[in-house]
């Protein structure tokens, strides 16, 4: 049972073919890791999955609602169904972090009271509750990164797409992020994340898609990929 299906996706920029015929399915309830070195095409793929740039060729289909799996194959997800951590982290640097989180929750369709509550829960979880009135620009890069992550998932989307969520975090916070991602999955969010560090991915991914220069190198469960690397 898949939630997102990509087939033969191609994308070229003026100077390079960034994605060169990639296909995979993200299954409902799993953590799916897009693994590859810098320049492999991960962010380009993710931006196409989020509808930010169109593919030159190929298809991207969603089936967010399992109950509707017979119809509506072509329906694009609604904003409340998706969570997105972009590669270029754009947050409101002059807004306090509690308001930032609540704002992102409301953008994703939450009522204000629910968004405020979720914001407070996340501030506790990421260890910034006592700094809730501070502006984002006052925080360290790692703390900004944690706020950015929370802003992408606090509405508990059906499908979260996270571009390099581990980057900028120290090892302790990387371990915490692994816990939060597992928790999110166990609460029913399907997760696709991109990364270039196998050692982090192997602690939590159910399946891995390894790419290089815009193409698939290997894919499968962690065990399958380990045996072939």
Question: Where along the sequence are the contacts to ligand ADP (CB under 6 A)?
Answer: 13, 15-16, 18, 36, 38-44, 96, 98-99, 102, 116, 120, 133
Sign of the C-alpha dihedral computed for residues 6, 41, 20 and 200 taken in this order: negative
Nearer to ligand ADP, 190 or 194 (CB): 194
Q: Cα(177)–Cα(160) distance, rounded to whole angstroms?
A: 14
CB of 224 to ligand ADP, least distance (A): 22
Per-residue CA distances from 217 to 35, 188, 220, 222 (Å): 10, 29, 11, 14
> Residue 185 in contact with residue 191, Cβ under 8 Å?
yes
Q: What count of other Cβ atoms lies within 10 Å of the Cβ of residue 156? A: 16
How crowded is residue 159: how many other Cβ atoms within 10 Å of its Cβ? 20
In terms of CB distance, is 98 or 192 closer to ligand ADP? 98
* CB closer to ligand ADP out of 35 and 64: 35
C-beta closer to ligand ADP: residue 40 or 153: 40
What's the min distance (Å) between Cβ of 104 and ligand ADP? Answer: 11
CB of 69 to ligand ADP, least distance (A): 30
Min dist. Cβ of residue 15 to ligand ADP (A):
6
């Amino acid at each position: 049972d898949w939630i997102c299906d990509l087939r033969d996706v191609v994308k070229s920029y003026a100077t390079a073919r960034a994605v060169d015929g990639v296909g995979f399915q993200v299954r409902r309830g799993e953590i799916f890791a897009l693994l590859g070195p810098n320049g492999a095409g991960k962010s380009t793929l993710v931006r196409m999955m989020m509808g930010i740039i169109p593919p030159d060729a190929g298809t991207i289909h969603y089936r967010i609602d399992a109950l509707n799996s017979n119809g509506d194959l072509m329906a694009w997800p609604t904003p409340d169904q998706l969570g997105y951590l972009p590669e270029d982290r754009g947050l409101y640097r002059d807004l306090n972090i509690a308001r930032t989180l609540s704002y992102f929750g409301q953008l994703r369709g939450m009522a204000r009271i629910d968004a405020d509550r979720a914001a407070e829960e996340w501030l506790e979880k990421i260890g910034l509750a006592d700094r809730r009135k501070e502006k984002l620009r006052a925080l360290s890069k790692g703390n900004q990164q944690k706020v950015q992550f929370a802003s992408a998932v606090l509405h508990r989307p059906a499908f979260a797409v996270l571009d390099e969520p581990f980057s900028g975090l120290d090892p302790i916070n990387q371990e915490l992020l692994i816990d939060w991602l597992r928790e999110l999955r166990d609460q029913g969010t399907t997760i696709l994340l991109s990364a270039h560090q196998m050692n982090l991915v192997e602690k939590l991914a159910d399946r891995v898609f390894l790419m290089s220069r815009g193409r698939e190198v290997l894919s499968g469960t962690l065990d399958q990929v380990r045996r072939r690397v």
